Each structure stands twice: as structure tokens, then as C-alpha cells.
Amino acid sequence: MKFLKFLFVGIFFGIVLVKSEAVSWYRIFEMFKFQSFHMYGIIGSAVFLGVLGVWLIKKFKVHSTEGKEIFLPPKDKSFARYMLGGTIFGLGWALAGACPGPMYILLGTGVFTMLILIAAALLGTFVYGILRNKLPH
């Protein structure tokens, strides 16, 4: 019962993404062909709100629901790893027509072929976990 609020937030988020056409394969295709600003506007507003939220958390020293201060450790600075990871993620997104969040939303809307993509994403995450110590970080 204590996780019910997260379920409702997830359902609401899914409805918003479906209604804004952010999970539409055609919108994603338009984005990767630089034919429409629609998805860039959605992603850009999400990045802006994320930056604003992190800034507010740091400025006002926000505490978690357990009363602990939220600490955001600094990220490792490495241009190559982010370029390589972003390229692999972007290629997967372009080939699949959906990034990880919308895959579950599309499954919920009845696109059952997303099960293949979800299985492949989980397999890729599992393989990365096995190979992580052998990869250059």
C-alpha cells in the first residue's frame, strides 16, 4: 500500500506522455530526421525542469521523506564515455522507436511487441553489469 502513490504517479506520467504524443513512433522519427520541434520541446522542458529541481534541492538543502538531507555526489568528468554511451542509447532509441520509459507505456497501450524491446533492454543491462569491471571507466 505504501507504494500506491508511485503507481498513481506512473499512471499519470504515462497518460501525459501518450496525450502529448511523446511515445509516438512518428514523433520520434520526425525528431531524428530534424523535421519537427515537438520532441525537442518536450525533452528541453524536461531538462530545464530537472536542472531547476536539482538547483532547488541544493539551494534549500531539501530532506527526503525519511528526514535525511539529499546529497547529490558530483559526476565523473569524462567526455568519451558520455559520447559513446549517448550514441549507443540514441541508436537504440532510433532503431526501436522508443526509449526505456515509453517502452512500458506502449506496452500498457497494447503494443505487445514492446515485450521484445523490454527483454532486449534488460538483457543489455545484465550484460553491462557483467562486463562493467572490464570496461574502461
Instruction: Flag whether pLDDT at 136 surpasses 80.
Output: no
Distance CA 119, CA 100 (A): 11
Give the pLDDT confidence score for residue 53 in this predicted structure. 94
Mean pLDDT calculated for residue range 126-130: 93
Does the reported pTM lie above 0.85? Answer: no
Mean pLDDT of 121-131: 91
| Rounded alpha-carbon distances, angstroms, from residue 50 to 53, 95, 123 | 5, 26, 28
Query: Does residue 30 surpass a pLDDT of 90?
Result: no
**Distance, CA of 99 to CA of 123 (rounded, Å):** 15
Share of the chain above pLDDT 70, in %: 99
Residues 76, 58: Cα–Cα separation, whole Å: 18
Which of 50, 23, 33 has the alpha carbon at shortest distance from 117? 23
From CA 120, how far away is CA 88, in angstroms rounded? Answer: 14
Q: Which residues have CB under 8 Å from 136's CB, separation 6+?
A: 81
User: What is the rounded average pLDDT of the residues 52-74?
Assistant: 89
Q: Per residue in 60-70, pLDDT tens?
A: 988 888 888 88
> CB neighbours of 107 closer than 8 A, spacing ≥ 6?
114, 115, 118
Measured between alpha carbons, how far is 99 from 39 in angstroms, rounded to an integer? 12
83-89 mean pLDDT: 87
Computed over every residue of the chain, the mean pLDDT equals: 88
pLDDT of residue 130: 95
The answer to whether residue 110 scores a pLDDT higher than 80 is yes
Name the residue type at position 115.
L
Grouping H, G, I as helix, E, B as strand and the rest as coil, residue 69 is: strand
